[in-house]
Amino acid sequence: MTQQKSHPSPINNPLVETWKSILTIFGVAFVVATTFTAAKPDNLFPSDLKSQLTEAIQGQESSVVSWATATPALMQQQRIGIVVGHWGDNNDPGAVCANSDLTELRVNQEIANFVQKMLIAEGFTVDLLKEFDERLEGYQATAMISLHADSCTYVNDFATGFKIAGTSLSSRTERTARLASCIRNRYAAATDLPEHRSITADMTEYHAFSEIDPSTPAVILETGFLNLDQVLLTQHGDIVASGIVAGILCYVNNESINVVPTPAP
């Protein structure tokens, strides 16, 4: 039987173990510090990882939510459609005044141009649309207003004032009703015209109402009579337009409607 040689047991001294741990930590720290000092910043991450981090940071910056405020930038996101009554309609040029070159189309165009400029100044996107514009099919906007003027023939002393009717085909009837109320109120205040209640089927069943998207609130406005209201419509188109624009702003900004104009007999 072979006898094994005995070995001395290792010394388990706590002080020695502590110094060994300290030396190990300093050694690792030295190696890491040397590596990071020698490396270029661009080489600290693999190229694909670096690009992923960059994209993630940029994505977070672009997803910041901007709260809605009444600024021109916000207004420009809102689109207003203005149908110029009888524009491009060769079959129906609208009312024509005898013994003059005044036509309903000309009045509608001049007022529409004023409205467009004023709304653009407020920051809106504005579409001027022809009577049977191809864009009307499925047209979507914050609101659509069709501008017309009434007969140039003298009827009686009560043939004065404006008329307004909204679409009954809208999927947002409450918005259409409010749009009509806003324009009715602000237009009367700006022009001093009474509201004439002789609403015709040509207004309530206006063709564009069945063409536009049902979600678009829409109204048709007869701005006045080309006979008794001719001076206002032809010489003060800016005042007429200001009433229309004020009505649109009332609707968009959800302004209160305090005064209901008194209709004509």
Question: For the chain, what are the domain ranges?
Answer: 74-252
User: What does the pLDDT average to over 241-255?
Assistant: 97
User: What does the pLDDT average to over 109-114?
Assistant: 99
What DSSP designation does 163 have? E
Which class would CATH give 74-252? alpha beta
Place of tokens 């940029």: 58
User: What does the pLDDT average to over 120-141?
Assistant: 98
Task: Examine the pLDDT at 185 and tell me if it is beyond 50.
Answer: yes
pLDDT interval class at 100 (50, 70, 90)? confident
User: How far apart (Å, rounded) are the C-alpha atoms in residues 105 and 258?
Assistant: 33
- Of the candidates 144, 109, 166, 148, which has an alpha carbon nearest to the alpha carbon of residue 229? 148
Name the more confident of 259 and 206.
206
User: How far apart (Å, rounded) are the C-alpha atoms in residues 119 and 125?
Assistant: 8
Name the more confident of 56 and 229.
229
Task: Examine the pLDDT at 227 and tell me if it is beyond 90.
Answer: yes
